[in-house]
Structure 1
Amino acid sequence: MNLHELSTRARAGQIESANLVCLEGGAYLIEARVGSRLLTLQDADGQPIKVPSLDQARDLLKGVPLTLELEQADASEEMCGLRETPLRSHPAG
């Protein structure tokens, strides 16, 4: 969905929620929920728009009647090499 479509849908009340999704490296994506679909804001080439800061996201969406919820990943999900089970098991006792 491009910015014009996001604005049009927001004005028509079709956007159920909007998220500012924090990516690794400090960039953000803007996602909007329309019905059961989660749509990412895209540029003219159909590529997701990555904004480098919260302020730039606000500037981009200026005039669009949306409230953004910040969605940050859990720090444990970003740890490289984290295993579900320990590398070594120590016998009890």
Structure 2
Amino acid sequence: MNLTTLIQMVTSGEAKELELLSLEGGFYILRALTSEGPVTLADDDDQPIRLRSTTELRQLLADVPPVPCMLVQHAVHDEMCGQRDGPIAPLRIPFSLDSQW
């Protein structure tokens, strides 16, 4: 999905929420959650677009209508140490695309 498609999906209501996935290496990947499953924002070569910050995301999505957005961070420490039994849910923190504060 490219940026134009993302804007169309948010405008039409097809994308119910955006997820900004925090990945190892200090970058983020944006996914749109649809009824058919998550769709990743990609470039012209169909490679996931790597974002460096929430500020960069806000600048990229300046023309996107308001939509709920979540920062998603997986609990790497718990996975490495093996302290908990069963599945470990990622940390999901809501944030606004309107402003930093």
Q: TM-score normalized by structure 1?
A: 0.78
Paired residues for 1:69-84 under 5 Å: 69-74=70-75, 75-77=77-79, 79=80, 82=81
The alpha carbon displacement at 1:68 in A equals 1.5
Give the secondary-structure state (helix, strand or coil) at the position aligned to 2:45: coil
Taking the aligned partners of 1:83 and 1:13, their CA distance within structure 2 comes to 40
Moved over 4 A (4+): none
The one-letter code of the counterpart of 1:73 is H
Residue identity matched to 1:34? T
User: Structure 1 residue 36: deviation in Å?
Assistant: 2.6
Aligned equivalent of 1:39: 39
Paired letter, 2:10: A
Counting strand residues as a fraction of each chain, which structure ranks higher? 2
Question: How many residues in Structure 1 have an aligned counterpart in Structure 2?
Answer: 81
Whose RCO is larger (CA < 8 A, sep 6+)? 1
- Structure 2: segments with no counterpart, 5+ residues: 84-101
For structure 1, list consecutive stretches of 5 or more residues without a partner in the other structure.
85-93
**How far does the alpha carbon of each residue in 1:8-61 deviate from its partner, in whole angstroms, 9 at most, with x for none?**
111111112110000012100000111132100000110000101110011111
Normalised TM-score (structure 2) = 0.73
CA–CA distance in 1 between the matches of 2:59 and 2:78? 31
Write the letter of the residue equivalent to 2:26: G
Contact 2:16 2:68 in 1 (8 A): no
Report SS of the residue matched to 1:33: strand
Rg comparison, structure with higher value:
1
Among the aligned pairs, what percent are the same residue? 36
- d(CA) in 2 for partners of 1:9, 1:83: 39
Aligned residue in 2 for 1:5: 5
